[in-house]
Amino acid sequence: MHIAIIMDGNGRWAQRQGLPRNEGHQQGVKKVGEITEECSRRGIEQLTLYCLSSENWKRPKTELDFLMGLLQIYIVEERQTIMKNNIRLSIIGRRDGIPPEVLAEMDRSVSMSAGNTGLNLCLAINYGSRSEITDAVKNIIRQGITPEEIDEPCISRHLYTAGMSDPDLLIRTAGELRLSNYLLWQLSYSEIWVTEKCWPEFSIELLNQALDDFAKRKRTFGGLTTGA
């Protein structure tokens, strides 16, 4: 099973508590570790987390600098947990704009965990789905692939997520009802589950609710249910 999550509401949660927005981001990172370990324990095959969108660069520089520092700390501190739980880390998104020291730590963690066979934890960092599709088209053209050779599997092979399954379930926190330029190609037939709780409030109990609800849904992928 592949779960994708839009981790929304860190800043809103902090403001409701009378705390700085950065405190919400710190609590959000702690929640990433908790939910990742639970998914690993449950035998989930893949977890893809929307960490930083390409649109987030519009935020104040002070907040972006804090986020980059927080990302670097997370990548380093979670290595032991990643290796202990047999988690394979992958990262999707454009690399431009990310500080070299952060990229170096990201690459090291990806390389260290490459041989692990458990949960594939995919972090979407500086990610935008439209940029991803644009980059895929450019790569197809560069490789000289003819129009007759282009089909849906061809496009999928040139996306950042090449080799990954499409998400079965999309979870979005903080009550927003939009995809926010996240995995637009891959989410075509995903089930969507939304909670009003902000990401720092997300819990294993809410994850269980989402999975229980998913199990009750009938997925037809455009076809008909039996007997319909």
Catalytically annotated residues:
8, 56
- State the Cα angle at 164 between 119 and 88, rounded to 5°: 30
How far apart are the C-alpha atoms of 202 and 76, rounded to whole Å?
23
Q: Which helix (H) or strand (E) holds 167?
A: none
DSSP-H helix ranges across 18-128: 21-41, 61-77, 79-84, 100-112
Give the count of alpha carbons within 13 A of 126, CB side only. 15
Beta strands in the chain (DSSP E): 2-6, 46-53, 88-92, 120-127, 169-172, 191-194
